[in-house]
Amino acid sequence: MTNNIIVAGVPRAGKTTLSRLLSKKFGYQHISMDSVIAGFEKCFPETGVNTYQGLSSLDTLRVISGKMAPFVRAMLDNSGYGTGEPGMVLDMYQLLPEDYDSCIRGSGCEIAYLITSDVTPEERFLIQKRYDTERDYTFYKSDEELREGAEYIVEQSLLMKEQCLKYGLKFYETALDREQAFARFLQDFGFDHAAW
């Protein structure tokens, strides 16, 4: 079993679901980095961590990833979770593989990316429409907003996949068969998937 894990990737790919599974079934402390980033946006605007800064989707992702990767490394280096097992599972959208590689690799924290690059934006939109529930933040968005978001999600997934291949990081396509992707994750990370 890996001590600390980052479950990274695009929105609505299953990061929180998988992180909650690791917390509930295997005892990991689940930390939602998206909530931490929202706190930075509201309380510390001077950091430049801002999802709505007028940049393109990819440029915003790059800016926030570049600022949050050193923060995550500092959390890992100064955490009491490094000594016991299991440690933390960090559920995080805005962390690119290149920033994991340059800032976090070697810290004793493994990473896996959940992406949806094997579908078109329209297919991604239709999948989301089929599975959205009232608990999902996207449930109340218009179809136009969801279609635009689906374009960003596929674009970001392709970038993350390309970088995962470059840096030798694990990634899992979740758009068409999330359960199978989760089962492969559990196997790859040495978890007893019978417990799932």
pLDDT tens profile 30-55: 999 988 988 988 999 888 888 888 89
Q: Which residues of the chain have pLDDT under 70?
A: 1-2, 79-84, 193-196
| pLDDT given for residue 83 in this prediction | 56
| pLDDT given for residue 108 in this prediction | 87
Positive/negative CA dihedral, 33, 35, 36, 38: positive
CATH number for the domain running over 9-195: 3.40.50.300
Partner residues linked to 89 by β-bridges: 5, 30
| pLDDT given for residue 47 in this prediction | 86
| pLDDT given for residue 67 in this prediction | 94
Query: Helices 15-26 and 178-188 sit at what angle, rounded to 10 degrees?
Result: 50
Per-residue pLDDT of 125-154, as tens digits, reads: 998 888 888 888 788 899 999 999 999 999
Q: Are 147 and 127 in contact (CB under 8 A)?
A: no
Determine if residue 108 is left, alpha or beta; phi over 0 gives left, psi from -120 to 50 gives alpha, anything else beta.
left
| pLDDT given for residue 125 in this prediction | 93
CA-CA distance, 40 to 47, in Å (whole number)?
7
Alpha helices (H) along 13-120: 15-26, 33-43, 57-77, 97-99
Collapsing DSSP to helix, strand or coil, 89 comes out as strand
| pLDDT given for residue 14 in this prediction | 92
- Sequence-separated contacts (24+) of 70-73 with Cβ below 8 Å: 70/103, 72/6, 72/33, 72/103, 72/104, 73/103, 73/104, 73/107
